[in-house]
Amino acid sequence: MKFTKVAALILSLSVAGMSVAACSNEPEPVSSDINIISTQSQSSMVATAPSAYVDPNAESENFVFTYSGFNFVVNTVLDESQLPDDYDVFQQASCAGQGLASHYEFKGGSFWVELYPGADSIYTIQILDDTVTTAEGVYIGNTLDQVKAVYGEPSISSEAVVVYEKGSSQLWFGLDENNVVNQIMYFGI
C-alpha cells in the first residue's frame, strides 16, 4: 500500500513536471500572423541535436511508433527527408526558455511529434484519436485489460495513467474513469 502511494505521488509529480515543461498539448504560433511555418518537407529548420538528446541504442531498444512505413522513435534524430507527405510543421517557444520546439502534426491531427527545443531529435509522440495505433496495435478506446494483454504489467500505474518503460523511452496510456484509454504518449527519458 505504501509503495502504491509513493508510486502515485511520483507519477503525479512527473505528470505535473511535464505539464509545466510542455506548457500545453497545443502548439502556439511563433507569430500571431503565421500559424503554419512550413508544410511538406523542407531543409532542416533546426541545428543538429545535442548528443544528450540522442540515444545511439534507441532504434533497437525503445518503443517504436510506425506510420506510413516510417518509424518514429524518441531520442533519435528526425529525418525530414524520409517523412510521409501529410504533415504540417509548427514551432512553439519552450516554457523553460530553451528555444523553439518543432511540432509535426500528421494526418489531419491524428498524431503529433515534438522535437526537443533547439534540436532535431524526437522528444514526444502523442496519438490523438483512434485512427492510428501503437506498433503493437493498441489504440485510444482500448481497455486497460487490453493494454495489459499486449504490454504486460506496467512499470508505473495510477488510476489515471499506466506507464511502460523500455530503453530510454516511456509509453504512457491515459485512462478515463472506466479504465478506457483516452490518451497515448511516447516520451524520451
Residues 9-34 have pLDDT tens digits of 344 434 434 443 445 444 444 333 33
CB under 8 A, 24+ apart: contacts of 75-79: 75/121, 75/122, 75/123, 75/168, 75/169, 75/188, 76/121, 76/122, 77/48, 77/49, 77/120, 77/121, 77/122, 78/104, 78/113, 78/115, 78/120, 78/121, 78/122
Which of the listed ranges 3-12, 70-79, 80-89 does the model predict with the highest average pLDDT? 70-79
Task: Please give the pLDDT value at position 92.
Answer: 81
pTM (two decimals): 0.73
User: Count of domains in the chain?
Assistant: 1
Round the average pLDDT of the chain to a whole number and report it. Answer: 77
Domain containing 18: what range?
Answer: 2-188
